[in-house]
């Protein structure tokens, strides 16, 4: 990591603040518009595509564990970040400012913590990639194609210590969120008389 304060802010804090700020601003603006246009019912249904986007974003984890072999890991991680971010925005609009029961709110809070933790992971990964890239350049990896070097650097960065420790926190947070969200979904289905 570069040690000047300016680059710490520009390279790490600013992208984090932008991702989070944009999510908060889009949630507030979206909620306001839905209320202004009398489309609160649309917001209610956003929970479904939002959840599907979040579930779809987990394809990256399946690729990482080699359960599936299709897709370039780096692109899939970017898709994970984007779809989980967009899916969370939809779920936040779905939650709105309505308060009906505790369980959905616990699920929403867990999702919020999950998203923020995901953003912290993104910043950590950037830092460890820069570190690994520096190491690679020192050893002058020869004989591998550019794409192969890129992929090796990517996996090394993902496996680096700070990322491994972060995952020890992030994955349990994700499990709490998944259990609460599932509880909420099952109770809604029961309420609707579908199950």
Measured from the CB of residue 37, what is the shortest distance to ligand HEM in angstroms? 26
Question: Do 142 and 13 contact (CB within 8 A), yes or no?
Answer: no
The single residue among 92, 121, 160, 184 that binds ligand HEM, judged by CB under 6 A, is: 121
Is 167 near ligand HEM (CB under 6 A)? yes
Q: Determine which residue in the list 34, 53, 76, 125 makes contact with ligand HEM, applying CB under 6 A.
A: 125
Structure tokens, 14: 């600013």
How far is it, in rounded angstroms, from Cα 134 to Cα 195? 55
Distances in whole angstroms, Cα of residue 101 to Cα of each of 12, 87, 110: 37, 21, 15
Query: Residues 115, 132, 153, 160: which binds ligand HEM (CB under 6 A)?
Result: 115
Q: Which of 124, 105, 103, 101 is nearest to 113 (CA)?
A: 105
Closest of 55, 122, 54 to residue 86, by C-alpha = 54
Among 119, 132, 153, 180, binds ligand HEM (CB under 6 A): 119
Residues in touch with ligand HEM (CB under 6 A): 19, 54, 61, 64, 77, 80-81, 84-85, 88, 111, 114-115, 118-119, 121-122, 125, 158, 163, 167, 170-171, 174
């Amino acid at each position: 990591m570069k040690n000047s304060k300016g680059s710490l802010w520009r390279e790490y804090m600013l992208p984090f603040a932008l991702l989070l700020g944009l999510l908060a601003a889009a949630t507030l603006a979206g909620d306001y518009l839905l209320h202004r246009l009398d489309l609160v019912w649309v917001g209610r249904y956003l929970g479904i595509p939002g959840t599907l986007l979040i579930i779809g974003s987990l394809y990256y984890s399946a690729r990482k564990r080699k359960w599936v072999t299709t897709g370039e890991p780096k692109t899939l991680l970017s898709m994970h970040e984007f779809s989980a971010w967009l899916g969370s925005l939809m779920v936040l609009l779905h939650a709105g400012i309505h308060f009906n029961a505790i369980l959905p709110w616990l699920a929403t809070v867990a999702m919020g913590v999950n998203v923020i933790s995901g953003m912290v992971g993104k910043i950590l990964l950037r830092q460890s990639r820069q570190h690994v890239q520096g190491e690679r350049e020192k050893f002058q990896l020869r004989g591998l194609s550019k794409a192969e070097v890129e992929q090796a650097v990517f996996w090394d960065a993902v496996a680096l210590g700070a990322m491994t420790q972060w995952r020890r926190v992030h994955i349990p947070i994700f499990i709490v969120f998944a259990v609460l969200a599932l509880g909420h979904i099952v109770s809604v289905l029961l309420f609707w008389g579908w199950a």
